[in-house]
Amino acid sequence: MTLTQLRQQFISGETTPSKAIEDLAAGISARDPQTQAYVSYDLDTALEAAGKADLSKPLGGLPIAIKDNINVFGQPCTCGSNFLVKGYTSNYNATAIKKLVDAGAIPFGRMNMDEFAMGSATENSALQPTRNPHDPTRIAGGSSGGSAAAVADLTAYAALGSDTGGSIRQPASHCGVVGLKPTYGRVSRFGLVAFASSLDQIGPLTNSVDDAALILQAIAGHDPQDTTSLNTPVPDYSAGINDGVAGMKLGIPAEYFGEGIHQGVRENVEKCIKLLESKGAEIIPISLPHTSHAVATYYVIAPAEASSNLSRFDGIRYGNRATNPDDIIDLYHQSRELGFGPEVKRRIILGTYVLSSGYYDAYYTRAQKVRQLITRDFKQAFETVDAIISPVTPTPARRIGTCTDDPLQDYLSDIFTIAANLSGIPAISVPCGTTAFDGADALPVGIQILAPHLGEQTMLRIAKAAEAVRS
Ligand code: GLN
């Protein structure tokens, strides 16, 4: 059931917010031991809020699952890390949560994720891997794997995730749900535990494009507590969403359809493009020539920012603290050594290296320059097209455990999603079919729609058309 349908049922009296939450709890007990999407949930607090729900509000009484790196007052916020599993409870609401609650929603459930959002499979969670509801031997994707899997498993009606290099769109694609990364600055990052601050955005994972618009409407907007928040009015994202794609120019970047894409992914995406064409869209071949540098650029900038952001986890201020240190330096060392997992350590070391004196210009400054070239590619493309269409990932969901000793393989799986973060533009993943892959009969495939800066309305309209041609 979508949020929109659930809301109608609340209004008609067919069900109530309390009943909807009890249904979720029953679904979690039945299915989540296998899927492992939830880190925790607080049924009593949610039921209390449900009892007081104001159904006249846009999200009145609707439960929304929250990735475990977004602070919700009074709840744990583990970030999938041993550092925060014990001894940390949020003492404030992230702005996105405050806005959801103001719109009537009920945050319910803390969703599993790769540690500090570093990963593409939720296998870097210190707590548990999340399994794909379509095939439990497969990854759910990541880092918002718990959010995506729960929405697909119908143990959540909708969820919030965060996307630094693809972490909303990639798991959405692997789990067959909708995942939207807003324009950088459209949704406040205040209260999102920072990974790479110039790339991070919060966004929705849902079972329909309408639901994604509904949640974006609630969480978007200026926030003085986030200095990168955009101070531009929020349009009505549902207005015009059904207007279709007739007359729209859709760019197909040659670089996103090259070698290495699984045939079933390519076929599904191409079929969806043909259907959009049959609905009146004009399909225009384009080039984004710096695409091949996106992954390398990201893996300089993101670890650099992460190494700085994660210095706050020192064993003094938050969570894990070494019990028997020799002195203060040893306290830092031991707390970080025991608190962080291998991927987080790898990123901190990489980031510290690229920022160190003597290497800063060779790596960090150069990466920032390439980032400008990638951004310019998009600017130029959007002079002739309204939006860009591509696959989300080169392959459907791989098997759990098949990539953990080769992080490079996982880094490469972000090849189509990372450029949107580097240039700050919005992008959405919409299910477009299924394909046989590596012994599985039918794994979900997503199509990605990238739009110009603040072009969420156009993007949602195309996404809605893509969703309609599929069903
Ligand atoms: N997979 C990418 C990484 O590990 C992106 C993660 C994300 O978007 N949070 O950095």
171 Cα to the center of ligand 1, angstroms: 11
Q: Which of 81, 113, 167, 184 to mutate to test the pocket of ligand 1 (most atoms within 8 A of CB)?
A: 167
State the catalytic residues. 67, 143, 167
Does any domain span residue 37? yes
Residue 134: both structure tokens together? 């379509």
Among 217, 281, 258, which residue's Cα sits nearest to residue 465? 281
| Residue owning the nearest CA to atom 10 of ligand 1 | 118
Q: What is the predicted pLDDT for the residue at 123?
A: 95
Atom of ligand 1 nearest to the CA of 413: 1
Kindly state the percentage of the chain with pLDDT values over 90.
94
Q: What count of other Cβ atoms lies within 10 Å of the Cβ of residue 396?
A: 28
317 pLDDT higher than 70: yes
Residue 78 and residue 111 in contact, taking contact as beta carbons nearer than 8 Å = no
Residue 288 lies in a domain: no
Q: Is the distance from CB of 228 to CB of 186 less than 8 angstroms?
A: no
Query: If residue 147 lies in a helix (H) or strand (E), which one and from where to where?
Result: helix 145-152
Report if residue 209 sits inside a domain. Answer: yes
* Torsion sign, CA atoms 242, 248, 252, 253: negative
Q: Answer whether residue 243 is part of any domain.
A: no
Question: Which residue has a Cα nearest atom 5 of ligand 1?
Answer: 165
Ligand 1 center to 388 CA (angstroms):
21
Which residues form the domain of 57? 3-219
Which residue has better confidence, 470 or 448? 448
Cα 319 from Cα 312, distance rounded (Å):
11
Q: Which atom of ligand 1 is nearest to the CA of 118?
A: 4
**Rounded Cα distance, 138 and 162, in Å:** 21
The verdict on residue 248 lying in a domain is no
pLDDT in tens, 210-223: 999 999 999 999 99
User: Quick check: 34 pLDDT over 80?
Assistant: yes
Task: Tell whether 384 is covered by a domain.
Answer: no
Centre of ligand 1 to C-alpha 176, Å, is 19
Among residues 121, 200, 216, which one has the least CA distance to residue 160?
216
CA dihedral sign of residues 182, 68, 106, 170: positive
The letter for the amino acid at 238 is: S
240: CB partners within 8 A, 6+ apart = 457, 461
H/E segment holding residue 36: none
Q: Residue 19's pLDDT band (boundaries 50, 70, 90)?
A: very high
Query: In 3-state terms, what secondary structure has residue 278?
Result: helix
Q: How confident is the model at residue 471 (pLDDT cuts 50, 70, 90)?
A: low
What confidence score (pLDDT) does residue 39 get? 98
Do residues 318 and 332 touch, judged by C-beta distance below 8 A? no
∠ CA(72), CA(75), CA(77), 5° rounding?
Answer: 80
Q: How far apart are CA 256 and CA 327, in angstroms?
A: 52
Beta strands 387-391 and 440-450, pairing class? antiparallel
For the four alpha carbons of 369, 228, 161 and 180, in that order, the dihedral sign comes to negative
Which of 112, 120, 416 should be mutated for ligand 1, with most atoms under 8 A from CB? 120
Q: Dump the DSSP string for 294-355.
A: HHHHHHHHHHHHHHHHGGG-SSSSSS---SS-SSHHHHHHHHHHHHS-HHHHHHHHHHHHHH
**Residues in a beta bridge with 249:** 282
From the alpha carbon of 168, which atom of ligand 1 is closest?
8
In a domain, 78, yes or no: yes
C-alpha distances in angstroms, 39 versus 144, 206, 404? 12, 19, 21
In this prediction, residue 400 has a pLDDT band, given cuts at 50, 70 and 90, of very high
Coil, helix or strand at residue 168: coil
Least confident of 112-126, 353-367, 392-406, 437-451: 392-406
Place of tokens 């992954």: 295
pLDDT for res 403: 78
Helix (H) / strand (E) element for 434: namely: strand 427-437
Q: What's the CA-to-centroid distance between 342 and ligand 1, angstroms? A: 15
**Nearby residues of 62 by Cβ (< 8 Å), 6 or more positions away:** 3, 6, 7, 10, 17, 20, 104, 105, 106, 157, 158
Tell me what the pLDDT averaged over the chain comes to: 96
Candidate from 52-56, 223-227, 401-405, 441-445 with smallest mean pLDDT: 401-405
Ligand 1 midpoint to CA 346 (Å): 13
> Who contacts 247 (Cβ-Cβ below 8 Å, separation ≥6)?
280, 281, 282
The amino acid at 97: I
**Interval 178-195: pLDDT, tens:** 999 999 999 999 999 999
Ligand 1: list residues with CB < 6 Å.
Answer: 117-120, 143, 163-167, 195, 302, 414
Atom of ligand 1 nearest to the CA of 195: 9
CATH of the domain at 109: 3.90.1300.10
pLDDT at 470 over 80: no
For residue 410, give the ligand 1 atom closest to its CA.
1
- Write down the pLDDT at residue 404: 67
Where in 1-90 does DSSP place strands (E)?
A: 38-40, 63-67
Distances from the Cα of 372 to the Cα of 184, 293, 363, 421, 432, angstroms: 15, 11, 14, 12, 31
Q: What is the average per-residue pLDDT within 320-332?
A: 95
Is it the case that residue 143 has pLDDT exceeding 80? yes
Instruction: Give per-residue pLDDT as tens, 266-311.
Output: 999 999 999 999 999 999 999 999 999 999 999 999 999 999 999 9
What is the residue whose two structure tokens read 């290099």? 165
The answer to the question of residue 54 being in a domain is yes
Give me the number of domains the chain comprises: 1
CA of 61 from ligand 1 middle (Å) equals 32
- Burial (0-12, 13-18, 19+ Cβ within 10 Å), 108: buried
